[in-house]
């Protein structure tokens, strides 16, 4: 497998319909918004979904969510210590940080893609890995309306509890919104982590199928949809153009006053000399 030898930029256009794409725990789990009222999905949430999709594809993932674990380890430290070479380095006072990072990148695709900080209680070793794949926060094209509803309990939680219709909590959703996020892959960092051209294509596949196997009460099946993935492959390690300039090639504008579907938006893709985007439909 060959190390990534050319810069890659990408963009993803997705829609949200009657769902909570990313709740804010500091705001009653309401969908995230910026000060202008535009909806947001954090880069951390997007990376979580990419990890899940890579895991579904059979890839080894270091940062696994508790509800999708494929092993019995109760912490990241346990997962790292399960590998004899890593455990040996962690327990040694003179353990090599570079060797630890090299082994971790070989073992787990999310480490060599996104990077990882390895700093565990009880170990003197502290290792920081910078990954080549960077992802922006997803932002809605227009301000989003958030609908809130009260939910109540209809059964007793425990025996002999007096049942009542007191409010149990609140549930929030975005009625409709079109979001876009951008990302890039850096060849210099790819050389350090061993991120390959094949790894890049796996990330691409994960983006195209981002919301498969991701349904929940907050995000019912079919409420989140990837419509387009735009993929720019430069012809050099540093790229012909900056990522900012490439990302500005994508223009999304509404055609009606109150959009209700992706068809109510006009998507325009401009071009730069010598750089052409591959456009992939979501699945």
User: Computed from CA positions of residues 48, 12, 199, 101, in that sequence, does the dihedral angle turn out positive or negative?
Assistant: negative
pLDDT of residue 123: 77
| Partners of residue 178 on adjacent β-strands | 15
- Nearest-angstrom CA–CA distance, 76 and 9: 30
The pLDDT tens digits for 187-241 are: 999 999 999 999 999 999 999 999 999 999 999 999 999 999 999 999 999 999 9
pLDDT mean over 167-186? 92
The pLDDT tens digits for 10-61 are: 999 999 999 999 999 999 999 999 999 999 999 999 999 999 999 999 999 9
Percent share of the chain, pLDDT over 90: 82
The pTM score is: 0.93
User: Quick one: pLDDT band at residue 155, thresholds 50, 70, 90?
Assistant: confident
User: Computed from CA positions of residues 230, 235, 238, 241, in that sequence, does the dihedral angle turn out positive or negative?
Assistant: negative
Query: Checking DSSP bridges between strand 167-185 and strand 138-143, what pairing results, if any?
Result: antiparallel
Q: What are 177's two structure tokens?
A: 């919104």
Mean pLDDT of the chain: 93
Does pLDDT of 157 surpass 80?
no
């Amino acid at each position: 497998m060959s190390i990534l030898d050319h810069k890659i930029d990408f963009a993803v256009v997705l829609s949200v319909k009657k769902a909570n794409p990313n709740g804010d725990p500091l705001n009653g789990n309401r969908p995230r918004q910026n000060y202008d009222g535009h909806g947001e999905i954090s880069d951390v949430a997007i990376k979580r979904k990419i990890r899940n999709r890579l895991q579904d594809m059979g890839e080894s993932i270091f940062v696994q969510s508790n509800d999708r674990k494929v092993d019995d380890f109760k912490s990241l430290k346990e997962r790292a210590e399960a590998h004899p070479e890593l455990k040996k380095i962690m327990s040694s006072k003179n353990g090599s940080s570079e060797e630890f990072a090299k082994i971790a990148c070989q073992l787990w695709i999310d480490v060599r893609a996104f990077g990882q900080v390895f700093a565990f209680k009880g170990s003197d070793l502290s290792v920081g890995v910078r990954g080549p794949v960077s992802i922006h926060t997803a932002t809605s094209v227009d301000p989003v309306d958030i609908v809130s509803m009260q939910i109540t309990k209809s059964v007793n939680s425990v025996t002999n509890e007096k049942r009542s219709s007191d409010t149990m909590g609140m549930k929030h959703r975005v009625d409709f919104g079109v979001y876009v996020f951008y990302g890039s892959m850096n060849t210099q960092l790819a050389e350090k982590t061993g991120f390959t051209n094949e790894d890049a294509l796996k990330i691409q596949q994960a983006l195209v199928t981002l919301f498969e196997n991701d349904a929940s009460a907050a995000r019912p099946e079919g409420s989140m949809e990837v419509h387009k993935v735009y993929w720019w492959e430069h012809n050099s390690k540093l790229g012909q153009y900056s990522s900012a300039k490439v990302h500005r090639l994508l223009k999304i504008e509404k055609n009606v006053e109150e959009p209700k579907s992706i068809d109510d938006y006009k998507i325009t893709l401009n071009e730069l000399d010598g750089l052409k985007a591959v456009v992939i439909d979501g699945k």
